[in-house]
Amino acid sequence: MFGLVETFAVAAALKVKAPPMAIAVMGSLPMLAASVFQVLLPLIVNPGRQRKYYVVRSIVLQAFFIACAGLTGLLPHPWNAAGFIAAYVLYGFSGQSMSTLWMAWMGDLIPDPVRGRHFAWRNRFFSLISLVFSLSVGLLARKYTADTTPWVFFTAIFSIASLFRIGSLFAMRRQYEPSAKIQRAKSISIRLSRRFLTFAFATALFQGAANFSGPFFNVWFLRDLKFDYLTFAIVGAFGTIGTIVTLPMWGRLIDRLGTRTAFQISGFMAAVIPIPYLFVSAPWAIWITNCYSGIAWAGFNISNFSYLLHISGREKSERIISLSVALTGVTIFIFSLMGGWCATHVPTIFKWQLQTLFLISCILRLVAMFSFRLLTNYQDRTGEESGRATQMLEVLPKSKNA
């Protein structure tokens, strides 16, 4: 599902003539809505239910909404664009709304000493599947561009993706879950260490900076560089190859050097990803650059995930993780809207206007990573441990009258 939908979602949006701001919202609004929902989740869960109960139902909804997205192009303009964006946002929201429950579930299953290698193996396997399907569809659609593709192509893509998601539902139902059940909270008040707050703000700012330009790389490939779907699929394939080849290395690095070190290394690597795109436009150069991008993001994603599980601990982990996800969701949404506006208003410094967006994103990413490094080094010098020097963060008031 992921390989098909994420490869061709922007192409579908361009087909229905969605404006740049709508494309920015596609990638950010689902996470914003899901993150806010996850903060409120402890207040509304049914006591006694296990996490699997909610995760399985979110999968059903995700399969439904992506199938609906495949039908929206049959509507007249501009309803087709509005319908597609709405269906895609609901698809993203339903998939991410229970992610903190799934993450806490996995945290209970995977021992910390082998967590890096386990998720490296897992992500490598998933990346290989995504590579096979995105390349296969790109090969079948090699004669199409964003302007010449019939909508029935996207209907078929999203319908098949929905069927695959339903298939994953049967596997998820068989996944073992420890017997611990979710407890309903009367309020959301959590003690958070300064280390956790430093990490949460740094990763939120970094991912916000990445999403400032992230949705528009595919727009640049398809609209400005005029890539056909095979060339476009190969761009994604090289990124996936970089991920597949280096994930075992990242897993071993995390387990041997620690998640924070791996997070910093991969973060600085991911920060400079936009720089080559400022000077190259040939397909072969884009492919090589995207391979490096896959290497950097493979390390960042797995180290970010492992560090979040490590620093959140086991007590109330769902609520602590949901707070970090919520902060990231709000930041990504704000930065994406800024990127959507800047996409048509920034000056053209290089050959294409969107390249200016890439440069700004690079600067913002570097600021986020340098800030994280400086703050964590200061905390090391002052001798603060992650379990000490905490402060109370009241997300919601305890009083019902407030």
Going by C-alpha positions, the residue among 200, 162, 167 that lies closest to residue 319 is 200
What pLDDT is stored for residue 324 in this prediction? 82
| Each residue's pLDDT tens digit, 23-32 | 888 878 888 8
- Name the residue type at position 322: S
Decide if pLDDT at 399 tops 50: no
Instruction: Determine the average pLDDT of the residues in 23-51.
Output: 78
**Residue 192: beta bridge partners?**
391
Say if domain 2-380 classifies as CATH 3.30.1490.20.
no
Helix ranges, 175-223 (H): 194-213, 215-219
With a pLDDT cut of 70, the percent of the chain lying above it is: 88
* Whole-Å CA distances, 252 to 185, 243, 255, 303, 388: 38, 14, 5, 11, 29
The lowest-confidence range among 116-120, 124-128, 158-162, 293-297 is: 116-120
pLDDT(71) > 50: yes
Question: Mean pLDDT of all residues in the chain?
Answer: 83
Find residue 189's DSSP bridge partners. 394
* 203 touches 328 (CB < 8 A): yes
User: Smallest Cα–Cα separation from 5: which of 218, 297, 206, 210?
Assistant: 218
Taking the model in full, what pTM does it have? 0.74
Domain boundaries, the chain: 2-380
Model confidence at 323, pLDDT cuts 50, 70, 90, reads confident
Q: What is the pLDDT of residues 256-301, one digit of tens each?
A: 888 888 999 999 999 999 999 999 999 999 999 999 999 999 999 9
